[in-house]
Amino acid sequence: MNAGLLEHIRTFARAVETGSFTAVAVEQQQSQPTVSRQISALEGHLGVRLLQRTTRALTLTDEGRTFYDHALALLEAVEAATLAVRPGDAAVTGQLRIAAPLAFARLHLMPRMQRFLDAHPALTTDWVLGDRPVDLVEEGVDLAIRIGRITDQSLIARRIGEMRRITVATPGYWLRSGRPMHPQDLKGHDCIVYTGLATIDEWHFKAPDGTPQAVKVKGRVRVSASEGMRSAVLEGLGVAVVPTWLFTDEVERGLLQRVLTDYEPAPLPIQAVTPSRRMVPPRVRAFSDYLAAEFRADPRLSPVTPH
């Protein structure tokens, strides 16, 4: 197999994954007609049509779907063979594209980046920040930080930390509204509702004996991003169930006060997520290892007791 054909196969695989010749062209820093010609050349070499092209989408033919499965295995084998005989290729280089929640990146990723970048001077990073999960394949993301359980079985998730959640409000709010003694008492409170949760208006707790407790809540402030929830809580607009990582020392300084400490919700995993069916580049593995080590040393991001 010549190098040109291998590059055409790589281009085809990325076209399938992104669903767009234009996206591949931007990613590879070449023109869209060049990408189209590479796919056409590959189809000519194979003697079959791999993709049906319309103005709106790319669709795999039956032959294309079969070839795509084999192409992925081939590309992974080539990368594995290269790393086996050229260990220097395992250096942490190139561009690392990272997706993460905005507030989590601001509070816990960016402050840790300088040391990682200093250790790998040939590495650059490209960040996709927001509370809504992105399509890793379509967006060309190498690694995403996600909190909670991963339901997409096509992704590979590595647990690198743990998120605990606490119930808090400002002292002024508790003075005005009183302190709840049981999760059901929250029905009479102004609750700051985070719409990024799957349950939204239903908050889940765990009783001291381990039994689950669910309560329907309501409030005059609903937010779609963690940054908004952080601001709303600090402004005294209500009570919220928040991850411990969302605040630095506000609880210790008394700016926020905890309640329902015996009813903390079950913790959720913090995970480094990568697309499946592809070799994990050294830069991705290095960053995942680095974060796992960093989070183990941070009580806000690590389990209270070892698993």
Tokens of 11: 């281009």
Do residues 271 and 147 make contact, with C-beta atoms less than 8 angstroms apart? yes
Q: Which CATH class is domain 91-163+268-296?
A: alpha beta
Residues in CB range of 7: below 8 A, 6 or more apart: 38
pLDDT for res 307 = 38
Inter-residue contact 144 to 98 (CB < 8 Å): yes
> Token pair for residue 94?
């190139």
- Length of the chain measured in residues: 307
The share of the chain scoring above pLDDT 90, in percent, equals 52
Would you kindly state where each structural domain of the chain is located, as residue ranges?
A: 3-88, 91-163+268-296, 165-263
Report the pLDDT value the prediction gives residue 306, as an integer from 0 to 100.
Answer: 42
What is the per-residue pLDDT for 44?
A: 92
**Residue type at 217?**
V
List the one residue out of 102, 99, 97 whose CA is nearest residue 145: 99
Q: What tens digit of pLDDT does each residue of 110-124 get?
A: 999 999 999 999 999
Report helix, strand or coil for 244.
helix
- Cα separation, 160 vs 245, in Å, equals 14
Q: What is the pLDDT of residue 304?
A: 63
Low-confidence ranges of the chain (pLDDT < 70): 1, 55, 80, 82-90, 276-279, 304-307
Within this chain, domains 3-88 and 165-263 share the same CATH topology: no
CATH number of the structural domain 3-88? 1.10.10.10
CATH number given to 165-263: 3.40.190.10
The per-residue pLDDT for 271 is: 93
